[in-house]
Structure 1
């Protein structure tokens, strides 16, 4: 495999992976070689006859595994963004092996002995703050991985971790397969009455892309309440669409979720914690299970009361159609009717003003320049992993190149649902690397030559995910362990949520919200009505979110040895206990398609979105009231928080910006829960 592109550092700009050269058969040999090389590097650290020093142990560990990082970053991104049966088979093989490899590093007794010796005399080493934090965080990671456990318990940990990795891979594959299978296939456009013309055309284009020429296909998004429910006038089709969404992968993934939760609880017990949630949150900003319990309990009652008030409004509108109750598949449809009636805001009316290229360049990128002084320039000669993925170079205010941004915005059959940010290369002064980050969305691809018109929520998602991208791009740390988004899970969503604020700032909104055909700006009175309508539906959105957070929390607060017979019954009981069993408001994710939790990194961490939103809402108020302009405020936020990554405690970064501890009041006001 001398031609394997992973065997050498990329010579492209900022080490962008050479996707034009990468083939599926390159991955397995590169994984084999990458793992072997890192184990050799670890063995070299352990065998060093010199006493352990920060440089020959901790820094050497930071430098190790370069090839493995290259191949793993590219593979993870392609598996999420443009998978294939071959890649799925490889994922099933590689995931347990990677878990065993991580254990081989963290459970290496000789390596831990060197790190532990340094940790015990850390105050004598004269380390600068970032280096001291690196030593402390590395020591914590080894302890949390089981380095201090007896050999028998370590062996059981290895078995658990390998099985969990295999289960996560199976969960992802089951979900992707069933999501495809449950797409709604329709014969003619008349069945899509209520959808805008461009949405109908996108359904036809989706049918063509899926090999169903002449059909109109509604593919499922990863969350419960599908976006088309707000417009489809055919009630039976709405019911069919929501049922397809809610029933995804239940038979295959329900038992997998039970097994996964049980294994995580067993692992937590081995590591001295009463539950997986307790294990996770001990290393997050929340700090304790009690703190998360208290927040969820505080929000549930007011959120349900809000949703009940909204339901009464919806029912008043639905009675005109002869309905006597609001079902789950009716909520979005009548919410849109009420929004139109009360605020004269029609979601379909907005779409012509929200064309993807304009939103991207004159909204998202414009805001980044306004606030942070950066400029993005497309580099069409740089090849990404799929023709729809586009590469941009990011330049700082002084003209220097910060890194690369890859935007991959359209849905396709080979991409998982949702929206996310990946890092292909992490910034590090130690390794001399600039960041290469990816944003993935799932916007319906229009027919050739037609504009991609967005919903308001899709605009919000663009700004949100670019907030994650900025967190990676602005990273200014020495060690890769701290780069960009390497922060606690219940802090990582905070900067991305803050970035959403710019979508409605008058100078930004006026710059991008223009009619795609005429160039006319979004009418001022419509902007005012949109602002008034923002609070409508907060009850639904909060209950929907809290339902998913409670489901995650219930699974992961189980003590080891708890028997669960049926996943659906378990989640129903959890929602009832929390007071969130609102039949017309299904949780944003149910167990069987909750990839964040059962196939991702958010286990016992989905609460993070609203925990982070406390910081977000507080910071938005700081931006508005600190007396500084957007550019000056942006410099503070970038320097004290975005650039710092995980190099200092997360809440210290928040305090350095806002000047105090976070307060929950702004969140309660935003959500209508004060």
Structure 2
């Protein structure tokens, strides 16, 4: 399963460090320290902006305006970037709350800057050379335009109000999910089927009742293994209600505000407003892509549903069995166990922690010519590890990487990569990425290993950036391309060529042979039509919510989900949990499948071997290093030597690319 990546787009590229070689970030122990850093960051930004305003328009150039603007953001980000991160990961709620407040304050500052006509005129006046200067100017002008700087005064002020409110609502939506402390209690009779290792590692009371939270590390193993259907239903309903009415209200207001914002610019929908800045260019291209996905999947979903329903009938002894949504994961797990001898929980012994961290870094080292060197630096929690990332050939330090891998109270509940500092060759700035996951300490399932490779792909996209300007560093690319490098890198989690290198870092690990890889791949494909059908549903819902006609978010969801093979469960409110479209992925969730098509196409370049350092070096040079300095389509063409095509993705959907251990 592909996990989401969180992009801190509010700060554009969070770059920084007054010392060029610095790659660690400031750690805050108190809310007061966060507030002080936020105050300092905002003050530094305003001071730098005033200096740009004083540049005569006829002297506006790359050095006086573009570089100065990049300096403005890097100076601000040194102070505000750590506050942004710690709003999501710090153990102290007071620190998290202060970080959240800093995010809201910074949003207001950003809108002020991009609505400033004097700053806009100076960016407009630059006559840049082709390359990074031209790309940064285009990036800045797009930000100015999207903030409403060229609108008449009344509409510009309305745009400012809308943008600030949209960001505040998006952050509140995420905070409501992140701070949800609901605990479900499951008694001994409801624990049947759960692996002993799972029961041993989750909280329980003195009577032996499990106390489970609405988080992935608890939810997925339970839904995959608990034989008690009523218990699964109870967990399913709670998990799909965890945002509550508050988040439904937020989503409805967001949709209305975004539609109004688009209207200020003359667009009939937020989807049209947003997609014009992306690879697809317009909503029509998105809908054509989604239609093709839907037409490909329809018969395959029906076949998979029939097979899982048959398994339920055999398991329950009821010939007229109907598959419920809370049954899907359970019977998929049974299918994988019986047909392919793949037990996800038992597979953790093949992928133990922390050995898998050593292996993931080992793969990256071999592929991209790197060394990850542990260093003892201040961190926000004892679980966090830091590495200097060095070029293997030159031993130059390229950047820094933090890993925060295990769950705890108050921490962001999914998996995400935060690009907290962007690269700048102009100032010799070194980038830093933070990888945040919620992995079990004992070991990973194959799905979790795939998640690890996906997220480390995002982190490396940031760390291996060598852009001239920090604001164009790392994942500052078109939204519908940002997932592509990570979608590609997932393949290293299920191919024999990469998996058989595990003994290099873990000699005691059970060997992964060709037979096991073939069974893992076949198991991975089981139920994939239903999985991608769900991805299609999310993308379709997102696009319709961002469409030209106002809709009630819950009514729209109920209508669309009711038309899917498993239908809608009355009383559940999935949209209240859909953090992607409350944030930066609004009118952009299609990008996961769009980017996967690009990622699978780029994967085809590794014909000489998945661990081929020559191809890895080319990918590092032509894609990862370039950030947003070039359009994504040009970078992909440079890497592949041709225009991209989605053939491999649709072959995968049709299950035509037969499993291969290579």
With normalisation by structure 2, the TM-score equals 0.90
Q: What is the distance in 2 between the residues matched to 1:428 and 1:117?
A: 23
Q: What is the distance in 1 between the residues matched to 2:437 and 2:81?
A: 18
Deviation (angstroms), 1:75: 1.3
Q: What is the distance in 2 between the residues matched to 1:528 and 1:659?
A: 31
Q: Does 1:590 align with 2:581?
A: no
Deviation (angstroms), 1:63: 1.0
Q: What is the distance in 1 between the residues matched to 2:283 and 2:429?
A: 38
1:169 equivalent in structure 2: 171
Task: Indicate the SS of the match to 2:512.
Answer: coil
Residues 15 and 513 of structure 1: CA distance in aligned 2, closer, same or farther (over 3 Å) = closer
2:332 equivalent in structure 1: 335
Contact 1:548 1:589 in 2 (8 A): no
For residues 121-147 of structure 1, the C-alpha deviation after alignment (integer angstroms, 9 at most, x for no partner) is x3xx5x142212222222222122211
Residues 666 and 513 of structure 1: CA distance in aligned 2, closer, same or farther (over 3 Å) = farther
For residues 400-444 of structure 1, the C-alpha deviation after alignment (integer angstroms, 9 at most, x for no partner) is 221111111111111122101012221111232111111111113
1:3 equivalent in structure 2: none
1:312 equivalent in structure 2: 306
Q: What is the distance in 2 between the residues matched to 1:397 and 1:115?
A: 39
Q: Does 1:62 align with 2:56?
A: no
Residues 140 and 176 of structure 1: CA distance in aligned 2, closer, same or farther (over 3 Å) = closer
Q: Does 1:25 align with 2:6?
A: no
253, 257, 277: which one aligns with 1:259: 253
Task: Indicate the SS of the match to 1:157.
Answer: helix
Contact 2:324 2:566 in 1 (8 A): no
Deviation (angstroms), 1:505: 2.8
Task: Indicate the SS of the match to 2:604.
Answer: helix
For residues 441-470 of structure 1, the C-alpha deviation after alignment (integer angstroms, 9 at most, x for no partner) is 11134xxxxxx1211111001111111111
1:470 equivalent in structure 2: 460
Q: Does 1:555 align with 2:551?
A: no
For residues 175-224 of structure 1, the C-alpha deviation after alignment (integer angstroms, 9 at most, x for no partner) is 2344x21x322355x632222222111113xx58xxx8965222223699
Gaps of 5+ in 2: 1-13, 657-662
645, 649, 652: which one aligns with 1:663: 645
Counterparts in 2 of 1:382-401, with a 5 A limit? 382-398=377-393, 399-401=395-397
Residues 18 and 47 of structure 1: CA distance in aligned 2, closer, same or farther (over 3 Å) = closer
With normalisation by structure 1, the TM-score equals 0.89
Q: What is the distance in 2 between the residues matched to 1:589 and 1:472?
A: 35
Counterparts in 2 of 1:475-514, with a 5 A limit? 475-512=465-502
Higher mean alpha-carbon deviation, 322-331 vs 508-517, is at 508-517
Residues 514 and 476 of structure 1: CA distance in aligned 2, closer, same or farther (over 3 Å) = closer
Q: What is the distance in 2 between the residues matched to 1:644 and 1:370?
A: 20
Residues 621 and 15 of structure 1: CA distance in aligned 2, closer, same or farther (over 3 Å) = closer
Task: Indicate the SS of the match to 1:226.
Answer: helix
Gaps of 5+ in 1: 1-5, 446-451
2:278 equivalent in structure 1: 284
State how many pairs are aligned.
636
Q: Does 1:459 align with 2:453?
A: no
2:123 equivalent in structure 1: 115
Q: Which has the higher contact order (CA 8 A, sep 6+)?
A: 2
Residues 150 and 217 of structure 1: CA distance in aligned 2, closer, same or farther (over 3 Å) = same
Task: Indicate the SS of the match to 1:430.
Answer: coil
1:449 equivalent in structure 2: none
Contact 2:598 2:645 in 1 (8 A): yes
Deviation (angstroms), 1:283: 0.4
2:660 equivalent in structure 1: none
Q: What is the distance in 1 between the residues matched to 2:392 and 2:377?
A: 23
Deviation (angstroms), 1:575: 4.2
Q: What is the distance in 2 between the residues matched to 1:523 and 1:93?
A: 51
Q: What is the distance in 2 between the residues matched to 1:357 and 1:264?
A: 43
2:527 equivalent in structure 1: 537
Q: What is the distance in 1 between the residues matched to 2:649 and 2:213?
A: 34
Q: What is the distance in 1 between the residues matched to 2:573 and 2:460?
A: 27
